[in-house]
Amino acid sequence: MSKRVRLKQKDGYRGKDEEAKVYPHTYTKRGIEYFGYIVRGWKEDGKWQRKQFTDQTKAETYANSVNINLKNRGTHQALLLTSLNESQLRESEQAYKDLGEAYSLREVTEFYLKHHRPPEFTISIKDGLKHYLDDKEREGVREPTRKKTRTILRSFSRFTEDALVHTITEVSVKSYLKTLRSRDGSTVAKKKTWNNHRNEIASFFIWAGERDLSTNRPWTFNNPVEGITVHSAKRIAEERPDIATTKTDTTKELFSYLMNYKDGSLVKWFALAYFAGIRPSIDNGELYKLSAREEELINLTTGRIMIPADVAKTKDSRPIKMSENLIAWLKAYEGKPIMPPNLITDYPKIRKKFNLQTDETRHSFISYHIALHRSIGNTAQEAGNSERMIKKHYLDHRPAEEGAEFFSIIPDMKAGKAILAEPDESANESHLKAI
């Protein structure tokens, strides 16, 4: 019920000398006499005011409203009609004093309800993550992808001390993202890392806000990641290191080492990465998927490798015409698996020994392929890249003679080392004959 509450004695209030009052009133219109009520007794802009009503209740309500406005003139505190009791009014006054001009009471209330209103069912990030990953598995998301999600969200959970999902705010997420560091532990993480962590957390909160009775969702009414910056592809590209390619002499040295390392168990993996440009991976991706379907997708007779859509990173199938030296390597080590059991531990050792950078095998293939064949379209098709990307990053990265040398590296099984194949003089002869 509304009531009047006087907060303070008024300054400048004239009392009953100027007050709206209700008076019975009769008047004649078109020869007919009517009975009503008139409100009068106050001034606006120096002129006396009056207003006529047929209903007494409406007249009294209007008069009360006018009188409250009159009593509020020229004062900082007012006499108001309110449903709040005096204690609630005092709390409201204090809240406005504390907030100052930074935020309105409505803004603060909306923010609090958005971030702290508990849903019917509450759960911690760590416990919620278990349900989230179960859902991902049912959707057919591969274990390596789930592992990445698990790692990021567990890290975020530790940062927040495993807070309840609905209590996480944008500030919490931003603070976490700002703690991300590169592998050296001190350098600020790259923008790509920021995006990866931001997007994983965002996906979790979108899922947590969906209605699902089997998991008692929603667990939150808010996605705290929604307003956080996503760095553009251009900004991410600015932080990428220069294209790293392996010199031909180093490539020969590397393959000679591989031929004598654990009976050549890693040769096929490196041969396909270097001489076919298949994206290297030891736990997911193209080479990982290809290894399980080697007999189906690699045809030494036709000299073709088929990368189907479900193997390709881009989800677009592509054929690869094998170079003669790649065929030589695959035939020499035919029967050995592409991914031996020791790959996951030995691959990092090889990279460290030869100082190989991320994707250096693939960068080498593309750079030497375009150098040798001078065909942007052909290189783009076999590498599974766009022509724009090939032209921008790889064209003229290596000279043609180095391209020819790179694709002539073959195994000498008797000597147990990699050598350069003798140039095929007939390749330079015209196959056209005059008749």
Predicted confidence (pLDDT) per residue in 227-276, tens digit: 999 999 888 877 777 788 999 999 999 999 999 999 999 999 999 999 99
Residue ranges covered by each domain of the chain: 3-89, 125-238, 248-428
Asked if residue 38 has pLDDT above 80, the reply is yes
Residue type at 332 in one-letter notation? A
- Of residues 356 and 80, the one with the higher pLDDT is 356
Mean pLDDT of the 148-172 span: 94
Mean pLDDT of the 107-121 span: 70
Asked if residue 19 has pLDDT above 70, the reply is yes
Residues 322, 268: contact at Cβ < 8 Å? no
pLDDT digits (tens, 9 = 90+) for 328-346: 999 999 999 999 988 989 9
Residues 245, 368: contact at Cβ < 8 Å? yes
The Cα-based distances of 324 to 174, 311, 415 in angstroms read 52, 24, 20
Please give the pLDDT value at position 427: 44
Q: pTM here?
A: 0.58
Residues 330, 401: contact at Cβ < 8 Å? no
pLDDT digits (tens, 9 = 90+) for 1-11: 445 554 444 44
Highest mean pLDDT among 43-57, 122-136, 378-392: 122-136
Please give the pLDDT value at position 117: 58
Asked if residue 368 has pLDDT above 70, the reply is yes
Please give the pLDDT value at position 409: 97
Please give the pLDDT value at position 2: 47
What is 248-428's CATH number?
1.10.443
| Start-end of H helices in 323-420 | 324-332, 343-353, 360-373, 376-383, 387-393, 400-406
What distance in Å separates the CA atoms of residue 40 and residue 47, rounded to the nearest whole number? 11
Asked if residue 59 has pLDDT above 80, the reply is yes
Please give the pLDDT value at position 4: 52
What distance in Å separates the CA atoms of residue 294 and residue 71, rounded to the nearest whole number? 90
Q: What is the residue whose two structure tokens read 């196959």?
A: 431
| Per-chain mean pLDDT for the chain | 85
Task: Quickly count: other Cβ atoms within 10 Å of residue 280's Cβ.
Answer: 22
What distance in Å separates the CA atoms of residue 407 and residue 332, rounded to the nearest whole number? 16
The Cα-based distances of 7 to 62, 95, 101, 337 in angstroms read 22, 16, 22, 86
Please give the pLDDT value at position 283: 75
339: tokens are 């991914």
Please give the pLDDT value at position 383: 87
Please give the pLDDT value at position 12: 44
Q: Out of 81-85, 182-186, 231-235, pick the least confident.
A: 81-85
Please give the pLDDT value at position 115: 59
pLDDT digits (tens, 9 = 90+) for 314-323: 888 999 999 9
Please give the pLDDT value at position 434: 32
Asked if residue 128 has pLDDT above 90, the reply is yes
Please give the pLDDT value at position 26: 83
Please give the pLDDT value at position 120: 78
Q: Out of 132-141, 284-293, 354-363, 423-432, pick the least confident.
A: 423-432
- Of residues 136 and 26, the one with the higher pLDDT is 136
Share of the chain above pLDDT 70, in %: 89
Residue 33 — pLDDT band, cuts 50, 70, 90?
Answer: confident
What distance in Å separates the CA atoms of residue 279 and residue 383, rounded to the nearest whole number? 9
Asked if residue 75 has pLDDT above 50, the reply is yes
Share of the chain above pLDDT 90, in %: 50
Of the candidates 166, 164, 262, which has an alpha carbon nearest to the alpha carbon of residue 209? 166
Please give the pLDDT value at position 425: 55
Residues 327, 300: contact at Cβ < 8 Å? yes
Residue 47 — pLDDT band, cuts 50, 70, 90?
Answer: confident
79: tokens are 């006499």
Of the candidates 277, 298, 240, which has an alpha carbon nearest to the alpha carbon of residue 360? 277
Q: What is the CA radius of gyration of the chain?
A: 39
Strands (E), 246-349: 298-299, 304-307, 318-321
